[in-house]
Amino acid sequence: MTNHPNGKTEGMPPLARLLSGFDKPRNVTRLFYLLLAVCIALGLADFLYHKHGYFAVEEFPAIYGLFGFVAYAAVIFLAKGLRLIIRRPEDYYEPFAIDTEDERAAGSDPEATGGKPHA
């Protein structure tokens, strides 16, 4: 997913250097499959204990997992649909809004470079 520019790790804090391996595409893929494996394990775990639910629907194996997956996707797709309606240019409320102002005014480090200027 992420490309480290020229892949160098000098100048990074030691902790960051420790973590830097994770965003190599190969490791990201590994992480993905690890997550998938954990999810399947969790789903299967439902058969190993007696569930104490409040509603009958909770008794269904791995219902929480399936529900979470579907709900998450639904949220994203609905939000994408919503964005089609509500999206406006960033300077929509100018000049009575902070959206296009330089955010460093909020008290950033004097050395901060700020985001890219508004296109």
* Residues 17-76 close enough to bind other proteins by CB under 8 A: 19-20, 23, 32, 35-36, 38-39, 42-43, 45-46, 49-55, 58, 62, 64-73, 75-76
Rounded distance between C-alpha atoms, residue 53 and residue 59, angstroms: 7
H/E run at residue 67:
helix 63-86
Could you tell me the smallest distance in angstroms from the CB atom of residue 9 to other proteins?
A: 8
Give the position of tokens 């990201």: 28
CA dihedral 58, 63, 69, 72 (to 10 degrees): -10
Nearest to 65 by CA among 49, 31, 41: 41
List Cβ neighbours of 9 (8 Å cut-off, separation of 6 or more): 16, 17, 20
Q: Which of 5, 6, 7, 26 binds other proteins (CB under 8 A)?
A: 5
Smallest gap from residue 95 Cβ to other proteins (A): 6
Nearer of residues 26 and 106 to other proteins, judged by Cβ: 106
Task: Compute the least distance from the CB of residue 41 to other proteins, in Å.
Answer: 10
State yes or no: residue 114 binds other proteins (CB under 8 A).
yes
Task: Please give the residues from 82 up to 101 whose contact with other proteins meets the rule CB under 8 A.
Answer: 82-83, 85-93, 95-99, 101
